[in-house]
Amino acid sequence: MPEPLEPFDDGRAIDHTGAGGATDLAMEEAETLEKTPGGPLGTGPAGKPRSLWSDAWHDLRRNPVFIISSLIILFLVIIAIWPQLIASGDPLQCDLSKAQEGSQPGHPFGFNGQGCDVYTRTVYGARASVQVGVFATLGVTIIGSLFGGLAGFYGGAWDGVLSRITDVFFAIPVILGGLVLLSVVTSTTVWPVIGFMVLLGWPQLSRIARGSVITAKQNDYVQAARALGASNSRMLLRHITPNALAPVIVVATIALGTYISLEATLSFLGVGLKPPTVSWGIDISSASQYIRNAPHMLLWPAGALAITVLSFIMLGDAVRDALDPKLR
């Protein structure tokens, strides 16, 4: 029996000896729990706190899909930053006399129509793809979840206006929009393409964010915080955001893959990245006319693109499985 406690300083002492049976029984309940090593729900050893995030991480580390896809992505990011690590040549140094030639020592992937080394160009092409994917996703996620989250939280007129704006952007066909907007751009950097993707991509994320904020908002624990007198910002930051984040992260991861393939599509159509930028899309586009006599020119950049996109989508799937509370 514990000593009588005085947790409240206004003199309302808690006297365990006078509290009667229930508290004692409850204490025994606590002891019972202590004795059950699995805890009541069989989650981990007793005493070791595990949040849903750490549970998810625990899951991910054991998921082969996650391991493979993240290793590929890690490799991609490294060669995007330091392509020299695995490619010694210069992607822009071409020798027309070697145009369309196949694999030979020092040039495992052969040469393209301009006589540039396909291996070097494929390695250097990762940079543009990763840049476009990462920055477009960042932009889309920040803008989308900001607008979507606010619309979901405040509702009413805010929500009405934002939802209509979202609808307008949804109505723009991406390829057509790209052909129109990007054809006037002369810059050869990746930024106009990224800007275009953010412009047309944020409504998708905004819808997801809005939906998950509305779901989180309806939970009793948000009502409980409100009943305590919590401010809007506290409810939004402490209670809603952490619980609404999971679907946003999942969709963003999957979207990253699709932005990379969108970049390739736009470059293929001639409105995406422009030479001298090295990009898989540009290479696929120029290789497509030689597909009959020199398929290797198409195979390598297209293969790299497919593996990259697939890795991001697989990663997104693995993350979703790990975060899905229904499977818990």
Site membership for other proteins, residue 36 (CB under 8 A): yes
Site membership for other proteins, residue 224 (CB under 8 A): yes
Site membership for other proteins, residue 33 (CB under 8 A): yes
> 278, 259, 277, 284: which is closest to 178 by C-alpha?
259
Which of the ranges 26-34, 105-113, 183-191, 202-210 carries the binding residues for other proteins, by CB under 8 A? Answer: 26-34
Query: Which residues are CB-contacts of 85 (< 8 A; sequence separation ≥ 6)?
Result: 78, 79
Structure tokens that stand for 175 in this block: 């390829």
Which of the ranges 81-89, 176-184, 218-226, 271-279 carries the binding residues for other proteins, by CB under 8 A? Answer: 218-226
Site membership for other proteins, residue 34 (CB under 8 A): yes
* Cβ proximity to other proteins, 6 vs 90, nearer residue: 6
* Cβ proximity to other proteins, 61 vs 295, nearer residue: 61
Site membership for other proteins, residue 160 (CB under 8 A): no
The answer to whether 206 and 166 have CB atoms below 8 angstroms apart is yes
- Exposure of 28 in the CB half-sphere (CA atoms within 13 A): 4
Q: Which of 65, 77, 181, 225 contacts other proteins by CB under 8 A?
A: 225
Residue 316, burial from CB neighbour count under 10 angstroms (0-12, 13-18, 19+):
buried
* Cβ proximity to other proteins, 92 vs 237, nearer residue: 237
Q: What's the min distance (Å) between Cβ of 138 and other proteins?
A: 23
Site membership for other proteins, residue 175 (CB under 8 A): no
Query: Which residues are CB-contacts of 114 (< 8 A; sequence separation ≥ 6)?
Result: 94, 96, 99, 286
CA dist 96 and 99 (Å) reads: 5
The answer to whether 300 and 118 have CB atoms below 8 angstroms apart is yes
Site membership for other proteins, residue 37 (CB under 8 A): yes
* Cβ proximity to other proteins, 25 vs 142, nearer residue: 25
Query: Three-class SS of residue 104?
Result: strand
Identify the DSSP state of 94: -
Q: Can you tell me which residue has the tokens 């120029």?
A: 286
Which of the ranges 82-90, 128-136, 223-231, 309-317 carries the binding residues for other proteins, by CB under 8 A? Answer: 223-231
Site membership for other proteins, residue 184 (CB under 8 A): no
How many positions of this chain bind other proteins (CB under 8 A)? 63
Q: What's the min distance (Å) between Cβ of 307 and other proteins?
A: 30
Q: Fill in the per-residue mask, 43 to 82: x = in contact with other proteins (CB under 8 A), - = not in contact.
A: xx--x-xxxxx-----------------------------
Q: What's the min distance (Å) between Cβ of 146 and other proteins?
A: 20
Site membership for other proteins, residue 8 (CB under 8 A): yes
Site membership for other proteins, residue 95 (CB under 8 A): no
Site membership for other proteins, residue 40 (CB under 8 A): yes
> 127, 124, 273: which is closest to 197 by C-alpha?
273
Site membership for other proteins, residue 30 (CB under 8 A): yes
Query: Three-class SS of residue 62?
Result: coil
Query: Which residues are CB-contacts of 55 (< 8 A; sequence separation ≥ 6)?
Result: 43, 322, 328
* Cβ proximity to other proteins, 16 vs 107, nearer residue: 16
Cis? peptide before 301, omega within 30° of 0: no
Secondary structure (DSSP) of 256-288: HHHHHHHHHHHHHTTSS--TTS--HHHHHHHHG
Residues that bind other proteins (CB under 8 A): 1-2, 5, 7-8, 10, 12, 14-15, 17-44, 47, 49-53, 219-221, 223-231, 234, 238-239, 242-243, 325, 327-328
